Every structure is written in C-alpha cells, then in structure tokens.
C-alpha cells in the first residue's frame, strides 16, 4: 500500500439482531399497553433512548435492556426471543 490507509476500527454492530430486538420490544410494549413515554418514565430511561432502540439506531447495553424488562415485568429472554436468519457480517 502506498499511503497506508489507516484502518478505521469497526466496532461490533449487529444490524439483524438489533432490528429483531427493536421489533420484539415494540410488540411487547404495545401488548402491555405502554407508550414509549410510559416506559421511559417508569424505567427512568430517556424517551429519546427508547425511541432509538425501537428504531434500531443504536446498540444499547444489556443493563438498559434489563431495566426495560424489569419495568415491563417480563423475563429478559422474552425480548431476545427470536432467531437469526443471516450469517453475521463482520
């Protein structure tokens, strides 16, 4: 390589998983009759953050998901109750 293109570090971002999680959260939240604002308020999570998760625009931490699960009063595994279809692209 002539100009040693500085390799930009790519962090982990699992698009498929994130959008499946988003979908699952939207579903369950609706079932439970929570608005995003309800969930945000009762979980003490920013409303913008809830929206970001449900539109899979961020890669939340597990603690955020834990807190959501606690508020919705469901096992965490419920939110991850899906199957990957694709091979992961790193």
Partner DNA sequence: ATATATTATAGCACTTGTGCTATATTTAAT
Partner DNA sequence: ATTAAATATAGCACAAGTGCTATAATATAT
Residues that bind a copy of itself in the complex, under the rule CB under 8 A: 12-14, 17-18, 21, 44-45, 59-67, 70, 75-84, 88, 90
Which of 2, 4, 63, 77 binds DNA (CB under 7 A)? It is: 63
Q: With beta carbons less than 8 A apart as the criterion, state whether 65 and 77 touch.
A: no
Tokens 């998901």 -> residue = 65
> Does the footprint of DNA cover residue 37 (CB under 7 A)?
yes
Query: For DNA, which residue of 60, 68, 72, 79 counts as binding (CB under 7 A)?
Result: 60
**CA gyration radius, the chain:** 16
């Amino acid at each position: 390589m002539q100009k040693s293109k500085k390799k930009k570090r790519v962090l982990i971002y699992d698009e498929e998983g994130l959008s499946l999680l988003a979908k699952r959260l939207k579903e369950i939240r609706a079932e439970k009759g929570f608005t995003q604002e309800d969930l945000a308020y009762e979980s003490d999570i920013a409303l913008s953050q809830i929206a970001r998760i449900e539109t899979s625009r961020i890669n939340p931490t597990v603690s955020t998901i834990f807190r959501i699960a606690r508020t919705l009063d469901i096992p965490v595994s419920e939110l991850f109750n899906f199957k990957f279809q694709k091979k992961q692209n790193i």
